[in-house]
Amino acid sequence: MLITKRDRENIVVFDLEGEIRRSDAPGVSLHQHVKEELEEGRRDILMNFAKVPFIDSFGIGEILASYISTQNSGGRLKLAGISPRLFLVFQVTQLTRVLDIQDNEEKALASFIKS
């Protein structure tokens, strides 16, 4: 899995690429990346999954840990570009009740600005 970070309109955007699974975990995890940004005082974080074909429970655990950390820091975490298949996992686990999932990056950025 490849994680790249960029800034857009004062929002930290993590572009994720490749499958997110325990067996293919990067040296620095997604959650660690998020924690680092939170420690630096960044509060709005967007994870872009447009190039993620598969995610396992380890990957979702990373997202949930990031969500908790963000919430504890008083920040906001949004998800975008999730494939239908991945959306199904969030839907069935009822995480859609809690997580803010947007269709794409633009809509996500817009929702940050609106709220």
Q: Which residues bind other proteins (CB under 8 A)?
A: 21, 54-57, 60-61, 64-65, 67-68, 84-85, 87-89, 91-95, 97-98
Please, what is the minimum distance in Å from the beta carbon of residue 27 to other proteins? 21
Q: Which is nearer to other proteins, 8 or 21 (CB)?
A: 21
Dist CA 17 CA 5 (whole Å): 12
Beta bridge partners of 81: none
Name the one residue in this structure whose structure tokens are 């960029």. 6
Full strand arrangement of the beta sheet holding 44-51: 2-8, 11-17, 44-51, 76-80, 100-102
Of the candidates 21, 30, 38, 24, the one whose C-alpha atom is nearest the C-alpha of residue 79 is 30
Least Å distance between CB 93 and other proteins?
5
Nearer to other proteins, 2 or 92 (CB): 92
Q: Distance between CA 39 and CA 113 in Å, rounded?
A: 22
What is the nearest approach in angstroms of other proteins to the Cβ of residue 82? Answer: 9
Nearer to other proteins, 61 or 111 (CB): 61
Q: What is the rounded distance in angstroms from the CA atom of residue 59 to the CA atom of residue 112? A: 24
In the complex, the smallest distance separating the C-beta of residue 8 from other proteins, rounded to whole angstroms, is 26
Q: Which is nearer to other proteins, 50 or 113 (CB)?
A: 50
